[in-house]
Amino acid sequence: MIRNGTTYIVAGLIIFSPNPAHAESSLVVRPQAGYGYLDAGGSGGSGGVGHAGVRVLLGAGGNKRYGLEATRFSMEDSRGFGSLGIVLEQRLWSWFNMSIGTVGYFGYGANSENPVGLMTNLGWEPGQYKGFTPFVTYRNDIIFSRNTDVVHSVSLGVAFGF
């Protein structure tokens, strides 16, 4: 590992450390809401989908966090389903947010299945301002049902640090 200012080079990969001016909180609560499109492949059921949920995250040192997320998805045709899962999150360059999580989807599809999936987020989260931080992310949910279904959406929210 080679350290150069706030840049680390590990095994040929360049990794930026967080800006020390933005102290990370030990507990973060992130309510979020958004809208997108469910692509259900050949199984039908595709269409617009809204979501609202919350993440509760603990600090894992520096710019990393981990925790749980619970989200409710609502389809345009009044169908809905929920999700609950484990999330790992990191903020780079003091503004870029990325996360990944393994998620269970409950009451999904015509037979109210409970498939598992993978959720990712990429987006903008500036430095903390008096205990709260707005954020905007592109969210991608991959649901491993009978077919592999995908939800593409944009999420907006506020993170409250404690």
- Spell out the domain ranges in the chain: 21-161
Give yes or no for a contact between 150 and 142, defined as CB atoms under 8 angstroms apart: yes
The CB-side HSE value for 84 (13 A sphere, CA atoms) comes to 3
CATH code, residues 21-161 = 2.40.160.20
pTM over cut 0.85:
no
Residues in the chain where the model's pLDDT stays below 70: 1-25, 42-44, 128-129
pLDDT, one tens digit per residue, over 36-75 is: 999 887 566 788 999 999 999 998 888 899 999 999 999 8
pLDDT (0 to 100) of residue 129: 67
Query: Could you tell me how far CA 89 lies from the centroid of its own chain?
Result: 8
CA distances from 54 to 21, 46, 105, 160 (A): 26, 24, 15, 11
